[in-house]
Amino acid sequence: MGAASIPQLPPPQVVVGEGRTSSVALSPDGTLLLSGGARRLLRDPRTGRVLRALPGEDCLSQAVMFSPDGLLAAANCSGVPDTIRVWDVATGEVVGRHAYPNYPFEFSLSRTGQLLSINEGTVSAVAARGEAPPVVLSRGDAAEVGPDGTTLVVVQDGKLHLHDAATGARKKTFGAASGQPVFSADSRFVAVRAEEGWQLVDLQTSRVTPLSIGEADVMAMSAGARTLLLAVGDKDLDPQLALQERAGVLKPQLLSPAISAVNFGWRQAAWSADSQRLWVAGAQGLFQVDVKTRQAQAVKLTIFGQNQGAVITAGKHAYVNLDEGAVVGVNLTTGQVSGRYGQGEPALPVSVTDRELLTLEAGRLLRWDFNGGAPRLLLEDVTVAADRGSTVVALTKDALYRFQGASWTPQKWALRQPVPYEWISLNTGADRLLAGYVGIEGAATDFINLSGEQPRVNLLSEEGTPARLSPDGTRAAWLQPDRVILTDVASGKVLWSASGPPRAGTFTPDGTHLVITRYNGTVVIHEVTSGRVVQTLAGNGGWADSLAFTGDGQLVTLGVEGTVRVWKLER
């Protein structure tokens, strides 16, 4: 495919998924639940059923909000520039669009019709309707706007300050404070860290009360601060959410089933008016929680994976890790889910034909026959696997296995020393591969040649950054933190580089172009020989975690928000 022949792609067709639910807000009367993600969806809070999608170009919304009277809704929107959109809830019409220099995570709609936003310690206000530039009200290290939109608190110079949201005027100053403050659902209380732990501030009486929650973090509070939503456990690796009555037992009670709090951010919890129910958007999807029983019920379960290479295609179908416990088959023509393949553990698709599917689940390489039946175990203790055509390569810590054809009897090569490879990329013949890892004792990227009886392993980089091998096995595209670098595999010579942090990448099947996804949601196509950008595609609705091509040349993307899109190429 020459540079001049790369077709112009229309906006992608969304073929499956409403997108990962990344934030939620409850309307003041409790009749509507607004969920954010790749789309802004108004739902029935009792069932999670979608009532209406708020219109607007594709983008990723990680925070959503209703106005205190319930007439307006707002959401942040990633893009160039980053914006906050405002909708009329009754008509679905976009009535406000406001650009910001940095992606705004925190904002609120006030009773006076203002949009209040907090961006890197700056609190700004602007009329919610229209497109006027915002006016700075206050500055601080951290801030939060009350759910009723009339007050805001700012942490500045180690103290907590209460401001009037309409004018920015400071009304009160409280004692020592640090970190991000958290409002109760009725805007009366604020929880904030102090030197000795968390404390609760009553904004009406100015009373400050210590919170006995140990090492937990406050994520959200019900009206009256009666119930606290907490993150407990190992907060760096996998914190779990728990509920605690403020006047009750000191030990937080975990939600059941356990919900991960990883990346738990702004407006991820919405409370019912009676504080007896809670909607939580966590890493596993959207859940409704009964406060009394601590039982969590999935309302809309849309799981996404951060793994490179989490989409493969065969014919008119794609297979992706949309479901935490299974690989999901998707018909790219109809958008319908054609099947789920898994045994309850997080799974990745590895290889597929019109007869069978290979998945990697909890270190087990499994073969699924589309005619039904239990999967066949091919290999255990696998750290990573990938395919090229009819060949599958799998790595354990001690050996490399190559399956060719339909017999599923592998060739095996012992590794000279145990290596916990985490990613892999193959050439067309599957006799050359790049494999890498990042571990406690260091990182490495190896080039492995399987042409002889013993594979030759050459160390290419000590950085351990992911790379993609060209179809002919002569070039490597390195996904560095701030740029993409194309090198010659044999000599290590840099052929060209392109600035900008990449998210994922793949070569076109003929090897003439390199397709890169970026964190701003665009897909960039580079000419391999020169590095020249020949096309930039927008409309992906948030960055794509992985890419694949169908047999007839269509581009399939799996977005971070959990939506599969197919880009139909013009002929």
| SS3 labels along 180-193 | EEEEECCCCEEEEE
Question: Which residue do the tokens 């392109």 mark?
Answer: 498
Residue 17: which region, alpha, beta or left (left: phi > 0; alpha: psi -120 to 50)? left
Alpha carbons 298 and 300: distance in angstroms, whole number: 6
Look at the chain and count its residues: 571
Alpha carbons 270 and 205: distance in angstroms, whole number: 25
Q: What is the DSSP pairing of strand 456-461 with strand 467-469?
A: unpaired
Looking at residue 132, the DSSP 8-state letter turns out to be P
Alpha carbons 560 and 307: distance in angstroms, whole number: 10
pLDDT for 383 equals 93
Tokens of 87: 């909708």
Q: In angstroms, what CA-CA distances link 198 with 28, 73, 163, 225, 556?
A: 28, 31, 21, 13, 47
Q: In angstroms, what CA-CA distances link 110 with 73, 184, 270?
A: 11, 16, 18
Q: What's the number of CA atoms in the CB half-sphere (13 Å) around residue 12?
A: 29
Radius of gyration of the chain (CA): 25
Question: What is the residue-level pLDDT of the chain in tens, covering all 571 positions?
Answer: 433 344 444 556 666 666 667 788 999 888 999 988 777 889 988 888 888 888 876 677 888 999 988 999 999 987 667 889 999 999 999 999 998 877 787 888 888 888 988 877 788 889 999 998 888 888 888 888 888 888 889 998 899 999 988 888 899 999 889 988 999 999 999 999 988 789 999 999 999 999 988 888 899 999 999 999 998 877 666 688 999 988 655 678 889 888 887 656 667 899 998 899 999 987 667 889 999 999 988 886 554 433 445 899 998 899 998 766 789 898 888 888 888 999 888 889 999 998 999 999 989 999 999 998 999 999 999 999 999 988 999 999 999 999 987 778 999 988 878 888 888 999 998 989 988 887 655 677 888 888 765 666 666 665 667 889 999 999 999 988 889 999 998 888 999 999 988 888 999 999 999 999 887 778 889 999 999 998 887 766 567 788 999 888 888 988 766 778 887 654 3
Q: What are phi and psi of 189, to 5 degrees?
A: -110, 155
Q: What is the DSSP pairing of strand 170-176 with strand 411-414?
A: unpaired
Are the C-beta atoms of residues 303 and 322 closer than 8 Å to each other?
A: yes
Looking at residue 246, the DSSP 8-state letter turns out to be T
pLDDT for 5 equals 42
Tokens of 324: 């935490």
pLDDT for 485 equals 93
